Amino acid sequence: MSASDDLLVEAGRLAVELGQPDPPTLLDVRWRLVGAPGREDYAAGHLPGAVFVDLDTALCGPPGPAGRHPLPDAAALQAALRAAGVRAGRPLVVYDGGDGMAAARAWWTLRWAGHRPVRLLHGGFPAWLAAGLPVSTEVPTPQPGDVEVRPGALPVLDAAQAARLAAADDGVLLDVRAAPRYRGETEPIDPVAGHVPGAVNLPAGEYVAEGRFPAAEALRERFAAAGVGEGRPVGAYCGSGVTAAQAVFALHLAGRPDAALYVGSWSNWVADPARPVATGATPAG
């Protein structure tokens, strides 16, 4: 079995699995940074049997100095997952509106919480529609799950660890935001523009397009060009830890399950005015 088989599922294959006696649990995690809530999209139509789980309130903690999408409280996350019918050891599939970011953060959170059998629907809801597969507006009432949240199954960086990784000669910290934000030319969300000194810019659009990932070898080549070498520690950050979770997902596809997520990301970094900020096109600014 390839890494992608363990991480991704295509719409047609998922349809087959959903028709089997013990189908995977489905979570709809559609989300937008701005605009209408994902719950409205879910109400308009979703995969049959899917349960909506809110990224902001169920899969992340409340915003604050730890970032706009910090780690969730373990007990609160467990309660939310059990309410959604997530059962220990049972296969789970997450999907979003197509860009793969919210689904990747949901995937990361579930695996960080110790639930390994979780995959991402490749291409999200649009891929399901494009395959001509059925959509439902019925809201299921899942049987309560029994999943146990055990935090720490995936590596996490805090601000100090991110700074050390960015400064290390044998490691790389990837900033996956758009280049103008990295360079400090614009910052539409957070109060300070720029990047973590030493971080390397690799915008998300360079390794994923419209929520679809290239083959593992192509991913390895792209990450290698950004300085991600075999055996070199690697971490990723973005604005608030959502797009960076997608980078960690892509690194898993490329054979780097050790990739760490700076969950607080830039929104946490700039919460402390004592932390240095670099600007310009190079890691050092």
Q: Pairing mode, if any, of strands 172-175 and 200-201?
A: parallel
Give burial (CB, 10 Å; 0-12/13-18/19+) of 103: buried
Annotated active-site residue 238? The verdict is: yes
The token pair that represents 184 in the structure block: 């400090």
CA dihedral 250, 251, 257, 263 (to 10 degrees): -80
Q: Which residue has the tokens 């830890």?
A: 241
CA–CA separation, 129 vs 66, rounded Å? 37
The token pair that represents 149 in the structure block: 């949240």
- Catalytic pick from 200, 238, 247, 251? 238
CB-side exposure of 55: number of CA atoms within 13 Å? 28
Cβ atoms within 10 A of the Cβ of 267, count? 24
CA–CA separation, 63 vs 264, rounded Å? 10
Q: Are 195 and 180 in contact (CB under 8 A)?
A: no
Radius of gyration of the chain (CA): 18
Catalytic machinery residues: 238
